[in-house]
C-alpha cells in the first residue's frame, strides 16, 4: 500500500511541458494580433490625418501637397503648408507613425488636397508589416477609404 502523497517527476514534467507549449502558442498569437492592430491603427491614424488636411484645405481655401520624408528607419508625411523637412516637431500638419515596424511601401507622388471645390489629386498610400498590408485610397473628390490586402468587396 502506498502511503506517500504527491506527484511523480514524470507527471510534473508532463504538466510543465503542456504549460510551456500553451504559453508559447499564446505568446505567438498575441504578438501577431498586436502587430496587426498596430498596422490597422497606423493606417487609421493616417486616414484621420488626411481627413484633417482635406477639411483644412476646404476651410482655408488652400492646397495641401503631401510628401514623404524618410530619416533612417523613421518616416513621416508632411503637408506643403507645414514647411517642415524633418520628422521631428509637434505640428498637426506632420504625421509621424507611433510604431517603427509599420512601413510605408508606396505613395502616389503628387497626392494633394485642393481648397478650390474641395477636390483632391487621386492616389493611394500602402502600409505594411509582417502581418499584412492596408491601402489608403484617395478619390478625385477627396473621399478616403481603407482597404485591406485581398479585400475585393468594399473598403472602410
The DSSP 8-state label assigned to residue 140 in this structure reads T
pLDDT at 116: 83
- Per residue in 119-134, pLDDT tens? 999 999 999 999 999 9
Place of cell 520628422: 87
pLDDT at 24: 79
pLDDT at 146: 93
Distance of CA 155 to the CA centre of its chain: 15
How far separated are the first and last CA of the chain, in Å rounded? 69
Task: Please give the backbone phi and psi of residue 51, each rounded to the nearest 5 degrees, phi first.
Answer: -60, -40
Cell of 145: 477609404
Which residues does 110 contact at the CB level (< 8 Å), separation at least 6?
65, 121, 123
Residue 97's alpha-carbon distances to 23, 38, 80, 87, in angstroms, are: 31, 10, 18, 10
Question: According to the CATH classification, is domain 9-148 in 3.30.70.260?
Answer: no
This prediction has a pTM of 0.82
- Per residue in 69-107, pLDDT tens? 998 889 999 999 988 788 887 889 999 999 989 999 999
Cell of 2: 502506498
Dist. CA 66–CA 31, nearest whole Å:
32
Dist. CA 74–CA 66, nearest whole Å:
17
- Per residue in 3-62, pLDDT tens? 677 888 898 888 889 888 888 777 788 899 999 999 999 999 999 999 999 999 999 999
Amino acid at each position: 500500500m502506498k502511503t506517500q502523497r504527491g506527484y511523480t517527476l514524470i507527471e510534473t514534467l508532463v504538466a510543465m511541458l503542456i504549460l510551456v507549449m500553451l504559453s508559447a502558442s499564446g505568446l505567438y498569437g498575441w504578438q501577431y494580433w498586436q502587430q496587426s492592430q498596430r498596422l490597422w491603427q497606423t493606417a487609421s491614424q493616417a486616414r484621420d490625418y488626411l481627413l484633417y488636411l482635406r477639411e483644412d484645405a476646404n476651410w482655408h481655401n488652400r492646397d495641401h501637397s503631401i510628401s514623404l520624408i524618410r530619416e533612417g528607419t523613421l518616416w513621416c508625411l508632411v503637408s506643403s503648408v507645414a514647411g517642415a523637412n524633418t520628422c521631428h516637431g509637434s505640428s498637426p500638419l506632420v504625421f509621424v507613425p507611433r510604431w517603427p515596424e509599420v512601413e510605408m511601401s508606396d505613395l502616389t507622388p503628387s497626392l494633394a488636397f485642393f481648397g478650390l471645390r474641395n477636390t483632391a489629386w487621386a492616389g493611394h498610400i500602402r502600409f505594411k508589416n509582417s502581418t499584412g498590408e492596408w491601402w489608403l485610397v484617395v478619390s478625385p473628390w477627396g473621399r478616403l477609404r481603407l482597404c485591406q490586402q485581398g479585400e475585393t468587396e468594399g473598403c472602410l
